[in-house]
Amino acid sequence: MDRPTAGDKATLICPSYVDGTDTDYYTLFGLEAIMERLDGGIRYDLGRDFLGSARLNLQHYLWKDTLNYDIHPSIPVAHDHLRIADVGTGTGIFLLGLCRRLPPSTSFQGLDVSADQFPNAEWTPANVSFRKVDAMQDPPADLQGKFDIVHLRLFTCVVENDDPLPILSHCLSLLKPGGYLQWDEYDSGTTGVIGSTPGAPTQLLNSMLQAMGSNRPLSFPDNSWIPRLDDLFRAQGMQSVQKISTRPPPELLKAYTEMLLVAHLEHASLHDADGASVGGDRLRKLIGQGAEEMKKGGAFNHMLQVVVGRKPCVFSEGSGEKSS
């Protein structure tokens, strides 16, 4: 399936049975106003309330169940006193799960531009901490070169102008020489809608997929950087680079689809917050109709992509120079 682009928005037509007319998705749901608000300094297209937190937590467990790991097996973790950072940590669920299986001498730090979804400090293990840090900027000096492992997941909603290099540079600055970076994304160019049987209805889910613009419904990024992320790692001088692509097993497709429908509900709330309740109501109606298709066997089908690389012990950013 081709990736939608900003120039495609006039062709994103919702079926007539949504509101009785064939209509441009942007016009129907009032997305132009929401885009303008988000582009005015808010770089995250999803909610940070309890609904968004529940989605993030469900997403974490679905990824872990699909991949059968949290940290990729090629990254060594059988060492004492490791320091691990999770960039864009959200609810911190990735670190809260990881800290239960690694030695108590391991130090975990969750970093995010917003603290709204951080867990309750009184219920957080002593070796896990959270801090507000913007991944689009240079890291604070006291964090640079301090971590053995840096992890991040699903920055497709954050990357601007199809250029992930500011975020990649941020993560490399956090790493010690010889440290490992793991970046997880959906390969949105391979996302599609499938049916459990040849006759399963998928028309509305397909319309929603078009409107999602490969997982970012309000911005329609190209996302061409995702399938070449391993090449970007190598261009920054990283070693031992691997790209692993995995599709969810059939038994998890319904759960992944439900998770994505929740993300659309978050967008409906954005409409409401902007005073565009008519657009929010229409979007909720479309979500409900998509959910009915899902019950009859329709589902979104994503490719999960994990890219792993090691920062050389002697590192020259962007030069491609390597030293083990």
> Who's near 101: CB < 8 A, 6+ residues apart?
none
- 324's tokens: 């083990």
Domain ranges of the chain: 1-42+189-220+250-301, 43-187+226-247+303-324
State how far the Cα of 112 lies from the Cα of 115, in Å rounded to an integer: 7
Work out the percent of the chain whose per-residue pLDDT is above 90.
58
What CATH number matches the domain at 43-187+226-247+303-324, 2.30.300.10, 1.10.3720.10, 3.30.379.10, 3.40.50.150? 3.40.50.150
Comparison of pLDDT for 125 and 33, the residue scoring more: 125
State how far the Cα of 152 lies from the Cα of 88, in Å rounded to an integer: 6
Cβ density class 179-191: b for 16+ within 10 Å, e for less: bbbbbbbbbbebb
From residue 265, alpha-carbon distances to 36, 155, 270, 316 in Å are 19, 20, 9, 44
* SS3 (DSSP) at 63: helix
- pLDDT for residue 149: 98
Mean per-residue pLDDT, 59-65: 97
- pLDDT for residue 187: 87
Instruction: Kindly report which listed range (60-69, 115-124, 277-286) carries the lowest average pLDDT score.
Output: 277-286
150-208: pLDDT as tens digits:
999 999 878 888 899 999 999 999 999 999 999 999 987 788 899 999 999 998 888 87
- pLDDT for residue 317: 54
Q: Which of 178, 191, 112 has its CA nearest to residue 148?
A: 178
- 11's tokens: 């062709």
- 263's tokens: 């993300």
Helix (H) or strand (E) holding 130: strand 128-132
- pLDDT for residue 157: 77
Q: Does pLDDT of 294 surpass 50?
A: yes
pTM: 0.81
204-257: pLDDT as tens digits:
888 877 765 433 343 334 678 999 999 999 999 999 999 999 999 999 999 999
User: In Å, how far from its chain's centre is CA 153?
Assistant: 5
Cα 228-233-238 angle, rounded to 5 deg = 155
Contact 208, 258 (CB under 8 A): no
Q: How confident is the model at residue 5 (pLDDT cuts 50, 70, 90)?
A: very low
Q: How confident is the model at residue 316 (pLDDT cuts 50, 70, 90)?
A: low
Q: Return mean pLDDT, the chain.
A: 81
Q: Which of 183, 275, 186 has its CA nearest to residue 230?
A: 183
> Who's near 240: CB < 8 A, 6+ residues apart?
74, 308, 309, 310
State how far the Cα of 308 lies from the Cα of 324, in Å rounded to an integer: 16
Output Rg (C-alpha) for the chain, integer angstroms.
20
49-58: pLDDT as tens digits:
788 899 999 9
State how far the Cα of 232 lies from the Cα of 215, in Å rounded to an integer: 21
**Number of DSSP helices (H) and strands (E) in the chain, helices first:** 9, 11
- pLDDT for residue 210: 72
